[in-house]
Amino acid sequence: MSDAAAANDHGFNPRLIVGVVAIGVIAFIALWALIALGPQLSSGNDGGGHALSKAAPGYAGIVDLAERAGAEVELRRRVETTRYEEYEPLLVLTPTHRTRAPEIAELLDAGRRGPALIVLPKWQTMAVPGQTQKPGWVSVGFPARPPVAMLPPAHFGKVAIEAAPSKAQQVPARLAGHSFTAWLPGNVQTISGDNLETLIAGPGGGAVLAQVGDRDLYILADPDLINNLAFASRDGAVGGAMLIDAVADYADADGLAFDVTLNGFGGQRSLLRFAFVPPFIGITLCLLAAGLLALWQAWMRFGPALKPGRAIPVSKAALIANSADLIRQARRELDGADAYVKSQRTAIARRLHAPAGLDDAETAVWIDKHLRGGGDLFSSLARRLPLARNTHEFVADAQALHDIRKDLLRDS
């Protein structure tokens, strides 16, 4: 059987595991990046009432028409706090029925009281599966008056929003020297208030387009004058374009800036988003590179992982070595000379069956008789070893006794 077959039979394929881990890491990073940057990367064509929507309540039509006409148009996905004296666009806010007053106040205050147009919401819409003709369109919608509480009193004062039952009609209007026709829809929505000046009046009272005091702050009560629904006819599209142009000219604005943060498409402030945008994207990339290097180092280590050994090995040799080490550390090597001589003498006498009744000196002499000539006698070594003056003499005499035992007993 080949090595590859053996690896497949007895373990995982390393390449497969590396691929799975790599795909998992990339998918994890991509998921968090999409969560952080999703609102900014979204096309916004969700059927809502904002500048990115191509549905009936959206304003993608007026945005496209203004761009084709050569106007300066921008879509703001964040709260812009910088104001340029040479460029001051008309900020168009398209809140929803769920927008709160502090959110509108933040945008107005951030612009340092630059020109702004508030387009009030009117329609509650939904897409019914199987009945929506195109993606991003809506199939069901009904008018619903927005809550008055969405307009901050500090900016607009006390206002009232009404929906007057009426038929669709044309209303002549003149604003900033522009004469045009405003195409009012049926069930037109109007606004009234003590601090509001009517620019385009509604059929049943109230204002369709109003200015807040003497400020460059305007309210379009009915969005059907400029939304995509108005672009269903040529005349409605012309009327909507003329209205936006007249308001921008009346406010002396240099362009149009459609805000989409109120509709959920802004770059919210969060630590997660900061990790994927400058300047913190550099830190994120460094941390990612450090993690990859740590993974590579763990994968490319030399040899198998080292296993910790026992503090005290289990064997006779380890026991002897530990005992010898303790004696050496205590510097008591020379104190064991008598015991070593006795152990060697006893072992040789027992193995060679020495006669009984012999004392230590007689046993040493008896051992000498079994030695070959030309070497040290056992008895002389036994007397000299306890008198050793240093470890070198002790080791030499002890080795000689060990050699005598090995020659006589034929062991190690």
What digits encode the pLDDT tens for the residues 224-250? 999 998 888 888 888 889 999 999 998
Q: What is the CATH number of the domain that holds 197?
A: 3.40.50
Number of structural domains (the chain) is: 2
Please tell me whether residues 322 and 383 are part of one structural domain: yes
Please tell me whether residues 344 and 230 are part of one structural domain: no
In a domain, 96, yes or no: yes
Considering 204, 238, 264, which residue would you say is the last residue of a domain? 264
pLDDT at 6: 46
Please tell me whether residues 218 and 366 are part of one structural domain: no
In a domain, 286, yes or no: no
Cβ-based burial of 171 (10 A; exposed 0-12, middle 13-18, buried ≥19) = middle
Please tell me whether residues 122 and 242 are part of one structural domain: yes
Please tell me whether residues 174 and 236 are part of one structural domain: yes
Q: Quick check: helix, strand or coil at residue 306?
A: coil
Buried b (16+ CB within 10 A) or exposed e, 123-136: bebebeeeebeeeb
Encode pLDDT of 71-100 as tens digits: 889 888 777 766 666 788 999 999 999 999
Using CA atoms, how far apart are residues 333 and 298, in angstroms rounded to an integer? Answer: 48
pLDDT at 118: 94
Please tell me whether residues 63 and 195 are part of one structural domain: yes
pLDDT at 131: 65
Using CA atoms, how far apart are residues 324 and 332, in angstroms rounded to an integer? Answer: 10
Please tell me whether residues 224 and 348 are part of one structural domain: no
Nearest alpha-carbon partner for 118 in 86, 158, 80, 146: 146
Using CA atoms, how far apart are residues 51 and 48, in angstroms rounded to an integer? Answer: 9
In a domain, 25, yes or no: no
Identity of the amino acid at 7: A
Using CA atoms, how far apart are residues 250 and 209, in angstroms rounded to an integer? Answer: 13
In a domain, 287, yes or no: no
In a domain, 89, yes or no: yes
Considering 264, 289, 324, which residue would you say is the last residue of a domain? 264
Please tell me whether residues 184 and 80 are part of one structural domain: yes
In a domain, 303, yes or no: no
Stretches where the chain sits below pLDDT 70 are 1-12, 33-44, 81-85, 111-113, 127-128, 130-133, 135-136, 139, 266-277, 280, 301-305, 312-313, 412
pLDDT at 389: 83
Using CA atoms, how far apart are residues 99 and 260, in angstroms rounded to an integer? Answer: 12
pLDDT at 276: 61
Please tell me whether residues 89 and 216 are part of one structural domain: yes
In the DSSP assignment, the letter for residue 83 is -
Identity of the amino acid at 392: H
How far are the Cα atoms of 148, 155, 239, 252, 271 from residue 197, in angstroms, in the given order? 18, 14, 21, 18, 44
Strand partners, 76: 259
Please tell me whether residues 237 and 320 are part of one structural domain: no
Please tell me whether residues 323 and 259 are part of one structural domain: no
Predicted TM-score (pTM) of this structure:
0.58
How far from the centroid of its chain's Cα atoms is residue 11's Cα?
33
In a domain, 291, yes or no: no
pLDDT at 91: 92
pLDDT at 209: 92
Please tell me whether residues 107 and 236 are part of one structural domain: yes
pLDDT at 37: 59
Considering 264, 285, 304, which residue would you say is the last residue of a domain? 264
Domain containing 383 equals: 316-409
Using CA atoms, how far apart are residues 207 and 193, in angstroms rounded to an integer? Answer: 9
In a domain, 283, yes or no: no
